[in-house]
Structures are given as C-alpha cells and as structure tokens.
Structure 1
C-alpha cells in the first residue's frame, strides 16, 4: 500500500506478529481512501451496523460492573477483618487487580459504551475514576480522546510524548533531561517504570486541576481529595506506618503494572506517524494498532482492549461485540490490501521492548 511508506517504525522480524495476506487489491481508490461507493470506512461501518454490533449491551455491563463492585467490597471487607497484619499485602495485590478493572470500566464509560446519554456516562465516569480510583475523569478523557484522534502521531498523540520514554529515533535525537538518560536503557526500564503509572495518573490528575481545559475542576478536586482522605486515612488508621507504606507500594506498583500491561501491547512497536503524513481514518487506525490474540482470560484481563483495531474504529462499540467485529474488519482489510496486525500477548510485549531498544540506539551511540 502506497501510504505505508510514509510511516516510521519497526516490525518484529521472525514472525512474532501475524498479518493477513491480501488476496486482491479491490476497487480503485484515490489517495484519501475513497472508492466509487464512498469512503472505505463508511463501507466497513455499514457492514458492522448491519451485523447489529453497535447495540448497547446493558445485561453484560450490569453483570460485569456488579462483579467488579463485589470484588471491591470483598477486598475492603478483608482489609477490615485482617487488621494490622502483613497478610494485608495479599489484599493489596487483590486491590491492584480490582483497580485495574475499575480503570477499564472508566474507559468504557468514557467511550459511552455503557450508556448512550452523555450525562449518565459522565456521572458514572466521575464516580468510578475520581471517587474509586483517584484519577481525574475529565483530564484522562481529554488525553485519551486526543490519542484516539491521532494514534502514534509523534506530535499529536499524548501517549507517545517523549516525557520519559522516547518512541522514535527522531525523538531520541531530540531528547533532553530525563528522557535522554532513560532512553538509553528504556527497554530494560520499561516494566519497572510501569510500577509508577498508578501514582503518575493521580499526580497528573491533581496537576490538571489548574488546566483551563478541565471543565469541572472544583468538583473533580473535591472528589479526588475525598478519595485520598479515605484511602490514606484507612491505611494509616488500621495499619502501622511501616505496613501502610509497604501496602501502598505493593498496591500502586501492581496496579500500574497491570494498567501498563493492558495498554502497552496495543500500539507500542507499531509504526509512528510523522508530521505531514496524510492517511484516511480507516488506515490511520488500523496501521497503528495491534490486536492481541487469546481466549476468554485475555478478554477479561484486557477488558476488550485486545481488540484494539476494532475499538479504535468503533470506540462506542460494547466490549462483547468486538470479537465478531474483528472477523468482519480483518476480512475487509484483506479485501482492501491493508495490513492487519495480530499477535499473542507475550509476543506483543517482546515486539514493544525490541522497538524501544531500537529507537533508543541514537542515545546509546551518542554516549559512547
């Protein structure tokens, strides 16, 4: 495909990733991906809509959110029963998983997968993100919306901003401060850095309260403070200071590792889009995303984000519809000759780490 030549990035050699082999070139199209019957995405959207995959699934989300709520209540009950004991570290680990699932729930609420009405989605998002997680719903939604609009774009996607880690050789050559030091060894440091992601989300949330782009800073600030008053108050009231600090380290560290393990396989190691590159919506989303193969456990662990290509194409599609959408989308991409990337979870992380090492090469070379 002609447009793929303008993308930067690396593919894993040796077949870690699976890509469909196009069987034909399909109808003739212009540079913007339009055919005689309209844009390529509009045709895919028509097929998805006719399959009924955009319908809300209230029963699914009722069961899923109830299960997460019960897990949270059970963890809190266990915390209260165990008292000042080192056994609380098992509760900390369990809460890390529960918090990860709450993060996935907030994600689905933000995309209006659960409720069709904006107000219901915002109320649910504020309760789950701010009250239960200690993360600003408004800040995260703004950041994630920009990511969806321009995934893996060097200048427009906040998820690949070179704050600490560099995602392209261009960023490596321009890196300064912490990114210049970390970038040299970022493949080895990637997973250790993920243990700080939970704390980073909370820190960034409080920092965002001063941003003019945040719609309800007073409300969100109040909810965030209430979360941490209960969180720290409960820990330091029931546990000794030493145990409380270790509990926080285990809980927040594993929570960050969980979130990072869910989000990192989806785009890291996929092509980066340079400034000035023009791609139609379908190709922009498909070429920069990777699906993660797996069974039911992978679906639960990743909350449906293992179907990242379909999620980016149809952000409001309910999670249980993504598997059927994947079959339709992959077949359609094969018709058009658009590479469609799939990989196992371990292989996807291997690809991401290999990419991090490769793009950090200019920093290592400069330090010799």
Structure 2
C-alpha cells in the first residue's frame, strides 16, 4: 500500500497548491478587515465576525498541515511557516498545540496517553446514591452528549488561554520569543480595531460571536474522527496499521465538505500517512480501503450526521460508566483480522 502511494506520487509535499491556498485565504482576510473598517459601528459587523472566524479555522488547518510537513520539502520550513501562521494570524501558540497533537498521533484514542481522549463528562455509577441518584442528575448524565457540543464555543478561549500559559511557563519552549511577539501583535491589532471602529456593546458582541464560532467550528471538525471509536489501553507497541485504522473514522464527503473540514474527513488516511497533503487523501483512501478489505481490517466510514450521533451516544455512555464497552483489547488480536472485525463492530455500537 505504501509502495503504491509512493508510485502514484501521493505522499510528496504540494508547495504550489498550498501557497495558492494561503494567498487566497490572506486575500479573503484582508477583504474582511477592509469591510470591517468600512462598515463601522454597526450590527452588520456580525457578518464580518462570522467570516473572520471561518477564515481563522482554515488558517488553523494550514498550521496543522505545516506541522505534518505537508507543505514544504524541509521540516524546518514547514515548522517555521506553522509557527508564524499560528501566532501572527490565528493568535495561538504552535508549540503548545504541536506537543498535544503529537501525543495524539503517537497513541490515538489511547485512554491515558492521548490527551484528546479525555472528555468533559460527569461520571455516575449505575447504582449511585446520594445527590448523584437524584432524577435530574441521572437524566442529565444519560443525555450529557449535548454538553460536549454546548461547550465547543468555549474552545477558542481555551486555546488562547492555554497558549499564553504554555509560553509564559518556565522551561524550554522553542520559538518562545517569536511566538510571544507575534501573538502580542495579533491581539493588539484586534484590540485596536475593536476600540477604534466599534462601540463597547457592539465590540463585545462581535468578539463573542467570533470566538464562539471559531471554537465551535474547530470542535465540530475535530470531535468527529475518534470519539465513539474503540479505546486502546494496551501500552505495548503493536501493528501500526491496526493502531491507526481501528480507532479512526472517515466521513463520507464530497469536495465541498472535504474543503470545509480541511481534509480531516479522511482521518484514517491522515493517521496512516500523516505527511500526505490533504489534496491527495481522497486518492489515498481508495488504496487504503482496498487494502483493509483485502486483509480483513474494518474500515469505518459514515455520514456526517451519523458521526455526530455516534459521538453524542458515546459521551452519554461514558457518563454512566459504560466506557468499557469501547475498550479495544489490542494486545490479544494484533495479528488476527477476523477477531479485529468482531471486536471493532462491538466497540462502535449503532
């Protein structure tokens, strides 16, 4: 499979395509800023708040791709591009995110080693007593999947707070001075434009819409691909393909949805070939799916709405102590595709 991907030239960086994409996003961002200034102190600024939030998410996708060395041929150029784009345009710390994201890729959906596997749920037991046995709390604990989606608008604030905390902590932080300087410029320019153009009431509302939509958009994309898939507890190194494919889920997508998701709709291929540019993931998916079917490994691909349903159901089940339903005993079937098929189907209930 990897040999076929190389032969079809699907793994090399796509510098020209990414440069054109970056120039297009920068042009749209400049037009949004100009429109913001021309509109002035008006509630029509809600439109620019929506546009700026959507654009920042797509710049964040560029940061993600740079972190995976998908843009330029040398790691140093990719990293510097990601650092500058994250700090100057998105206003967040690349080094904070990169540390967290690398841990996720090393151990995807590992119950303790993957930071993205942690969920903001209230855990209750089937036979809870005291306040946890009250009917309203019991009802909430079995329907708290809505909590995950309700908290997503706060993700933007969380990212900025975590970025500053990371950069101001003691210890070695790569590109610390550069990141602090560029993030400070970003935040200062935003604050200046808000004070110069808008009244306090409009500024507060616009900022809230921007941050809320930015966090919600990011959360709705990144929540889809692993939550509700099997969880790994085995700490031994095993089959790379199994550890990546079993815990990942693709979203059935057309070209528009793939664009809106920054290519992360093909999460299985992204995890198997993290340096593959987003522009080649759809072609890679054909090879990966054929290979998985040939060796008997399940290849999870569902619709967008079905994926959200499974995420919601998963959070509910974890909240009432049924997370063990998703445990994937990887160590017992590292070389047995037939057992994988059975276990994975049980671990991703429908």
What TM-score range do you get, normalising by the shorter chain?
A: 0.7 to 0.9
- The corresponding residue for 1:205 is 163
Distance 1:291 1:167 in 2: 28
**1:250 to partner: Cα distance:** 0.3
Match of 2:204 among 239, 245, 255: 245
Q: Please tell me whether the aligned partners of residues 89 and 247 of structure 1 are also in contact (alpha carbons under 8 angstroms).
A: yes
Match of 1:188 among 121, 141, 146: 146
When structure 1 is superposed on structure 2, of 103-112 and 59-68 the one drifting more is 59-68
Q: Please tell me whether the aligned partners of residues 48 and 54 of structure 1 are also in contact (alpha carbons under 8 angstroms).
A: yes
Q: Which has the higher contact order (CA 8 A, sep 6+)?
A: 1
Are 2:37 and 1:85 aligned? no
Are 2:236 and 1:281 aligned? no
- The corresponding residue for 1:39 is none
Aligned length: 309
Residues 222-262 of structure 1: CA deviation (Å, up to 9, x unaligned) = 22222111112211221111111101110010111111111
Q: Please tell me whether the aligned partners of residues 167 and 356 of structure 1 are also in contact (alpha carbons under 8 angstroms).
A: no
Residues 92-145 of structure 1: CA deviation (Å, up to 9, x unaligned) = 011111011111011011111001212211221122101111110111111111
Could you say what secondary structure the match of 2:302 adopts?
Answer: strand
Could you say what secondary structure the match of 2:301 adopts?
Answer: strand
Q: 1:122-201 to 2 correspondence within 5 Å?
A: 122-162=79-119, 164-165=120-121, 186-201=144-159
Could you say what secondary structure the match of 1:289 adopts?
Answer: coil
Could you say what secondary structure the match of 1:102 adopts?
Answer: helix
Q: 1:1-368 to 2 correspondence within 5 Å?
A: 44-162=1-119, 164-165=120-121, 186-209=144-167, 210=169, 212=171, 214-276=173-235, 279-362=238-321
Distance 2:4 2:24 in 1: 33
When structure 1 is superposed on structure 2, of 104-113 and 232-241 the one drifting more is 232-241
Q: Please tell me whether the aligned partners of residues 160 and 167 of structure 1 are also in contact (alpha carbons under 8 angstroms).
A: no
**1:213 to partner: Cα distance:** 5.2
Distance 1:92 1:167 in 2: 36
Could you say what secondary structure the match of 2:305 adopts?
Answer: helix
Could you say what secondary structure the match of 2:321 adopts?
Answer: helix
Distance 1:103 1:354 in 2: 28
Residues 184-209 of structure 1: CA deviation (Å, up to 9, x unaligned) = 65311121200011111111101111
Distance 1:235 1:186 in 2: 36
When structure 1 is superposed on structure 2, of 181-190 and 274-283 the one drifting more is 181-190
Distance 1:133 1:62 in 2: 17
Structure 2: stretches of 5+ with no match in the other structure: 126-136, 323-350
**1:275 to partner: Cα distance:** 4.1
Q: Please tell me whether the aligned partners of residues 84 and 179 of structure 2 are also in contact (alpha carbons under 8 angstroms).
A: no
Distance 2:109 2:208 in 1: 31
- The corresponding residue for 1:40 is none
User: Could you state the TM-score of these two structures normalised by the residue count of structure 1?
Assistant: 0.80
When structure 1 is superposed on structure 2, of 242-251 and 59-68 the one drifting more is 59-68
Change (3 A) 1:95 1:145: same
**1:46 to partner: Cα distance:** 1.6
User: Could you state the TM-score of these two structures normalised by the residue count of structure 2?
Assistant: 0.84
Distance 1:168 1:213 in 2: 40
**1:73 to partner: Cα distance:** 0.8
The CA RMSD over aligned residues, in Å, is: 2.1
Distance 2:55 2:141 in 1: 32
Distance 2:228 2:123 in 1: 8
